[in-house]
Amino acid sequence: MAINLLLLMACLACLGGIASFRAKLLDARRSKTETETLNKQYRVQIEQMQALQQRLLDASHDGIVLVDEQQKVVATNTAAARFFKNQMIGETAVAAMRHHGIQNLMQQTAKNDENETLLETREGTCQVKLSKFATSQGHATLITLHDVTALNRAKRARHEMVSNISHELRHPITNIGLLTETLLDPSIRKSKRGRKMLETIQREIETLKQLVQEMQDLARIESGQMPIKLVPIPLSMPIENGTEPHRALAEAKEQHITIEVPDNVLVLADSLHIERVVRNLVHNAVKYTPEGGSIHIRATIEADEVLISISDTGFGIPEEERERIFERFYQVDKSRHDGTGLGLAIARHIVLAHGGKLWVESVENEGSTFFFTLPLSDKVNKA
């Protein structure tokens, strides 16, 4: 607010200087030549003062709109135009901003010297404050617009993250609690049913451990604290290693996995991290592809990078959810509780840390293809 007051004072000083100069001009009784010279100096000084006023206004990151006693806009800055994208000078504040909230604030400010509220605009959310002050011609109103879109988005993300974590923890903890309560009965604890319950508790504990570990890994990757060693490696190595753990389940579902990766392709990557990306993508492909389906893994060289694709013949992903699947804890099938919902978020951050990108293309009831890119090593074997 201090910078806005400083800018306002500078604008008023400029206006005062112009008024003083004009008074001297009117009072002067000089020859025609002297008057013309003085007029030129007057115009130059006005232009300089107006330019200075505009530079001072544009220096503020907040939107600034100065309104006179007739509620017409007499000064504004670039930041204000970002919110409303209209030609404001000479228009009334209400017409220039085209927002009913401004009209309400203007009416309230006529009674109170200061008012503020939050307004939704085409560019996001802004905190609007109106301050009325006296001038030599009556009074004027200073409108400041502070963009809080990013702040509100961060608040929503934090709220969603807490909600998602609570949801992911609730299911295993509830299961463990119910099973433990049942096992307090000695006759059940020593039975075959009791042993199965203990195995279920063990699985739920492993789920919780995986959730905590993946949350820690994601936090480290996002903060740049996860060590990633980029060295030339054969691309086939992390592809094979990431696919192998899922072959048994694929065979049980009578699925066919094919890999089409040239042996001579070297990429600049951290093998263990890329293996984790492949493992996650192949796991999802096997999980969401029905029995008898197929998964195809392919790599092609494009300029100075390699494009890896993992295609399946599964259920596909609805269009409105294709970007959201990379968010933390987001799952397309809300009824499933066999994952943490962090795998794709971690995979995307790993690929980004390698200088690549990860995305998906999908057709419902036909299948999905996940693509990611990695930089080629300078030591590519072209044999």
In tens digits, the chain (383 residues) has pLDDT values of 554 554 555 555 554 555 555 555 555 555 666 777 777 777 777 766 766 666 666 667 787 788 887 778 877 777 777 776 666 777 777 677 766 677 677 767 666 777 777 877 766 787 888 888 887 777 788 888 888 877 777 777 667 666 667 766 777 788 888 888 888 888 887 788 888 888 888 888 887 887 777 777 777 777 777 788 899 999 999 999 999 999 999 999 999 999 999 888 999 999 999 999 999 999 999 999 999 999 999 999 988 899 999 999 999 988 888 878 888 777 665 555 555 678 888 899 999 999 999 999 999 889 999 999 999 987 544 44
Question: HSE-up of 84 (CA within 13 Å, CB side)?
Answer: 26
CATH number of 227-383: 3.30.565.10
pLDDT computed for residue 166 by the predictor? 72
pLDDT computed for residue 50 by the predictor? 65
Tell me which residue of 373, 380, 332, 379 sits closest to 351, measured CA to CA. 373
Tell me which residue of 140, 333, 329, 306 sits closest to 239, measured CA to CA. 306
C-alpha distance across the termini of the chain, in Å = 67
Concatenate the DSSP letters of all residues of 107-121 into one string. Answer: HHHTTSSEEEEEEEE
Residues 325, 347: Cα–Cα separation, whole Å? 11
pLDDT computed for residue 59 by the predictor? 64
Tokens 């502070």, residue?
146
Query: In sequence order, which residues have a C-beta less than 8 Å from that of residue 238 and are 6 or more positions away?
Result: 269, 271, 272, 274, 275, 277, 278
> Which backbone phi and psi does 75 adopt, to 5 degrees?
-160, 145
In the chain, DSSP finds a helix count (H) and a strand count (E) of 12, 12
Tell me which residue of 73, 26, 17 sits closest to 46, measured CA to CA. 17
Tell me the Cα Rg of the chain.
33
Please state the domain extents for the chain: 2-147, 148-226, 227-383
pLDDT computed for residue 149 by the predictor? 78
pLDDT computed for residue 7 by the predictor? 52
What's the CATH class of domain 148-226? mainly alpha
Superfamily name with CATH number, domain 2-147: PAS domain (3.30.450.20)
Would the CATH topology of 2-147 be identical to that of 227-383?
no
Question: HSE-up of 225 (CA within 13 Å, CB side)?
Answer: 6
pTM across the whole model: 0.56
Exposed/middle/buried for residue 336 (C-beta within 10 Å: 0-12, 13-18, 19+): exposed
